[in-house]
Chain A
Amino acid sequence: MSMVRFVPVLLLAIAAALFPSSVHTIFLDTPIERQLGTVQKIFYFHVPLAWIMMLFGVVCGIAAGLQLRRHSRVAEAIAVASGEMVIVAGLAVLITGPIWGHASWGHAWTWDARQITTGLLWLVFVAYILVRRYGAAGSERLAAALAIFGAVDVPVIYYAVKIWKTTHPSTDTVGSLPSSMWTALWPALGALLATAVAIVWIRARQELTEMDLDDAWVDAEDLGAAKGEAT
């Protein structure tokens, strides 16, 4: 158990080591993309963040479903932590994307299918967190339904560029990148993923501690009331 506590610390240490080398590779070792120019370097963090957003969207949907079915506290904590990570990574994607689009396409927002589905995913998870935090008793079912709906939106985001005509490039573009660009993409993905998993881990532990504390307070109040009645 004590070793498990150090997992987020280890992940953050890996991320701290990877980030400087990743930035160095992106800006000094990777060639400038011929058509898009220097601004294409936003890609090395924008795309991994989008993958992380989608990954935790699915994790949140599965965990929320499990929590609803098995009333598992661990699943609930993972769902809340993953939901918050979707919001953070999603906001980063929704801001860095339009910045890149403004430079490359001349428009920050083109209302293409991938942008709309990504915006929808972000709003769904904001709704999920709001319902989890401020919803009345019994709102867990609505929250879980929102998380599952959000998870279902993930493949829609992926296939949006295949189904509809969009300004985003097709899904094959990333696969056809030259090896020099992959060399820069892997460390950026590793660093961001390690950071995201560490943050979700820490947040999930906080959520579990908060649940245990709530129970402990209720027990303490009950004990106090019982003592009062006895005297």
Chain B
Amino acid sequence: MISIKNIHKKFGKLHVLKGIDAHIAEKEVVVIIGPSGSGKSTLLRCINYLEEPTEGEIIVDGIPLTSEANINKVREEVGMVFQRFNLFPHKSVLDNVKLAPMTVRKMPKAEAEKIALDLLEKVGLADKAHAYPEQLSGGQQQRVAIARALAMRPKVMLFDEPTSALDPEMVKEVLDVMKSLAHEGMTMAIVTHEMGFAREVGDRVLFMDEGRLVEEGTPDEIFSHAKEERTQSFLSKIL
């Protein structure tokens, strides 16, 4: 579904990604872990070209990210959830969710609204459809953000530290929504510090450090039998 070939990313002199090769299969849930500054978020943001790689090739669902038209096409198929939610504060919850289907897919209003309400129901927020983002808790906002991304009927969902900005008691409600998505067979790439979640939901775990992919494997291979010393020392500090 997603193929990442020799991706480099430099911000000025800072070499953030130093040649990453990775592959994400259809319906696979891939969790990317690593210390902060290791380049995991940058890698995720390269997949939908919010960051343009300095070098290398990314192909999503057979579409190479080479032209502006292709990038827009890929973005329609790839949903993204941000650490800081990034809901549109001037629009109601319902309008947040239905905006992209209406403007990008040219979906009629009634249909977009129905899809939006179904998705809000799914993330447990149907009763908040007419509220505004600032009236919601962080956990609720993040669930709206997930519904908003799902409204485009994406084939892939990217999650960039979706629970890092949340109060501890709200982490679970967001992870539960993500879990149910995974069980429905959504292809997902998740950057997170929630190791319990990674272990439970992930099909594969990638460990990154200093812009390199150090090790990858099943959750069990990484969390219980890591081969690389870097991986072991990172996990020993956080588990």
Q: Tell me if chain B binds chain A.
A: no
